[in-house]
Amino acid sequence: MTGQQQSLDDLQHIKKMMERSSRFISLSGLSGIAAGTCALIGAIVAYPYVYGHKDIFVDAAAGNELVRTGHFSVILYTWLFWIAAFTFAAAVISAFIFTYIRSKKQHIPLWGTTARRLMINVAIPLIVGGLFLIKLIQANDIGLIAPACLIFYGLALVNASKYSLNELRYLGYGQLILAVINLKFMGYGFYFWAIGFGVLHIVYGAVMWTRYEKE
Amino acid sequence: MLLYRAYAKLILKVLNRQTRAMINPIENLNKLFDSRIRLGIMSALMVNADVSFNDLKELLTITDGNLASHLKALEENGIIKVQKGFIGRKTNTTYLATKTGEKAFRAHIEALEKMIRSTK
């Protein structure tokens, strides 16, 4: 019946408009896969500096001097800092590219009220988390760095799910569970970090891609 | 006693409305929402506290004039309210659904759902 079909179309239209106007829905599954891959590559590059015997200082003389004086800027002289910074930048840029492509396909502008709302709500836990991490490094609590990363990022994702795709919530739960398990197995943070930021992102991205974007 | 009577009256009213809707669901379909654009406007206003003119325009991908005429029709019927504010020095016009509007739109959605169920 046409009346029935018309009503169904109307309801679907209403649902679509409600989602589009209140949530940032262009987030692509491929962004998750890309960010996860960057994290895993970063972890592989960083491994010999964490558990191996490679010298962690870019400039050993300057590094050792700063360690002696106990100045915080010593971190800028370590390979790990630069690997982490590069990994983060690569993950953000590659994730951005796929989400940009998807927003173009959906004919939704990338930057708007929904994107701004999402950014603010993700930034709150992440900025506080960043400040907390700096303090952890200063206090030399290296073992807590990985679980702290996972906790703040997990909370950011749970928060983000209200302003973007609902499934982000489960990715957030995954990070939080990993963080709690990590607290029981101190010293293995590196592996938990790689699972959380690498494997979970890839799994989430692949599921989302097959569910919503695969043609 | 008075309370009891008011209560009974309310129940009768609800029952009456339900039977009427069962017999003819189309009756509850609101003519005011008989357009894709107005459905879109109301959908956005139901899930956001308020929405600016520009955001509505982007959401619905229509011209200023077209959007303005639909907004005017909804406003004149007491479905939505206009708020004029400023962001810095620029005027910022936002729209929000009135209580009546929210109720009417919910009834419209219910009527649509009934249409689907009744013809199955």
A82 neighbors A58 (Cβ within 8 angstroms): yes
Per-residue confidence (pLDDT) for residue B32, from 0 to 100? 87
Chain-chain contact of B44 with A17 (C-beta, under 8 angstroms)? yes
Rounded Cα distance between A80 and B58, Å, is 44
Rounded Cα distance between A153 and A5, Å, is 43
CA distances from B73 to A52, A139, A214, B36, B99 (A): 71, 63, 41, 14, 17
Per-residue confidence (pLDDT) for residue A109, from 0 to 100? 84
Say yes or no to pLDDT of B2 above 70.
no
Q: What is the pLDDT of residues B39-90, one digit of tens each?
A: 999 999 999 989 999 999 989 999 999 999 999 999 999 999 999 988 888 8
Q: What is the pLDDT of residues B14-36, one digit of tens each?
A: 666 655 544 455 566 788 898 99
Amino acid, res. A45: V
Per-residue confidence (pLDDT) for residue B102, from 0 to 100? 95
Say yes or no to pLDDT of B91 above 90.
no
Rounded Cα distance between A22 and A117, Å, is 9
- Classified by CATH at the fold level, domain B2-118 comes out as Arc Repressor Mutant, subunit A (1.10.10)
Per-residue confidence (pLDDT) for residue A135, from 0 to 100? 92
Chain-chain contact of B112 with A112 (C-beta, under 8 angstroms)? no
* Contacts with A7 from chain B: Cβ below 8 Å: 112-113, 115-116
φ and ψ at B50, to 5 degrees? -155, 155
Chain-chain contact of A4 with B120 (C-beta, under 8 angstroms)? yes
* Contacts with A5 from chain B: Cβ below 8 Å: none
Per-residue confidence (pLDDT) for residue B1, from 0 to 100? 64
Tokens read off for A211: 């569910």
Task: Give contacts of B 16-55 with A, CB under 8 A.
Answer: 26, 36, 39-40, 42-44, 46-48, 51-52, 55
Residues A163-173 as b or e (16 or more Cβ within 10 Å = b) = bbbebbbebbe
Per-residue confidence (pLDDT) for residue A106, from 0 to 100? 87
Per-residue confidence (pLDDT) for residue B23, from 0 to 100? 46
Q: Does residue A16 sit within a domain?
A: no
Q: Does residue A122 sit within a domain?
A: yes
Per-residue confidence (pLDDT) for residue B17, from 0 to 100? 61
Tokens read off for A95: 């994730």
Chain-chain contact of A17 with B43 (C-beta, under 8 angstroms)? yes
Chain-chain contact of B43 with A112 (C-beta, under 8 angstroms)? no
Chain-chain contact of A21 with B51 (C-beta, under 8 angstroms)? yes
* Contacts with B46 from chain A: Cβ below 8 Å: 18
Rounded Cα distance between A79 and B23, Å, is 75
Q: Does residue A180 sit within a domain?
A: yes
Q: Does residue A98 sit within a domain?
A: yes
Per-residue confidence (pLDDT) for residue A199, from 0 to 100? 98
Confidence check on the interface: ipTM exceeds 0.90, yes or no: no
Q: What is the pLDDT of residues A146-197, one digit of tens each?
A: 999 999 999 999 999 999 999 999 999 999 999 999 999 999 999 999 999 9
Chain-chain contact of A4 with B112 (C-beta, under 8 angstroms)? no
Size of interface A-B (CB pairs under 8 A): 56
Write the residue in B40, B52, B112 that is nearest to A17 by C-beta.
B40
B78 neighbors B69 (Cβ within 8 angstroms): no
Q: Does residue A9 sit within a domain?
A: no
Q: Does residue A206 sit within a domain?
A: yes
Q: What are the sequence ranges of the domains in chain B?
A: 2-118
Write the residue in A4, A14, A15 that is nearest to B115 by C-beta.
A4
How many separate domains does chain A show? 1
Q: Does residue A4 sit within a domain?
A: no
Chain-chain contact of A20 with B59 (C-beta, under 8 angstroms)? yes
Chain-chain contact of B119 with A3 (C-beta, under 8 angstroms)? yes
Q: Does residue A144 sit within a domain?
A: yes
Q: pLDDT tens track of chain A, all 215 residues?
A: 567 888 899 999 999 999 999 999 999 999 999 999 999 999 999 999 988 777 888 887 777 777 777 777 778 888 989 999 999 999 999 999 999 999 999 888 888 889 999 999 999 999 999 999 999 988 888 899 999 999 999 999 999 999 999 999 999 999 999 999 999 999 999 999 999 999 999 999 999 999 999 87
Helix B53-60 with B36-47: angle, nearest 10 deg: 130
Residues of A with CB under 8 A from a CB of B: 1, 3-4, 7-8, 10-11, 13-15, 17-18, 20-22, 107, 109, 112-113
The minimum CA-CA distance between A118 and chain B, rounded to whole Å, is: 14
A50 neighbors A190 (Cβ within 8 angstroms): yes
Task: Give the other-Cβ count within 10 Å of A90's Cβ.
Answer: 17
At B81, which helix (H) or strand (E)? strand B80-87
Instruction: Inform me whether the C-beta atom of residue B59 falls under 8 Å from chain A C-beta atoms.
Output: yes
Chain-chain contact of A13 with B51 (C-beta, under 8 angstroms)? no
- For A208, the domain range is 27-213
Say yes or no to pLDDT of B117 above 70.
yes
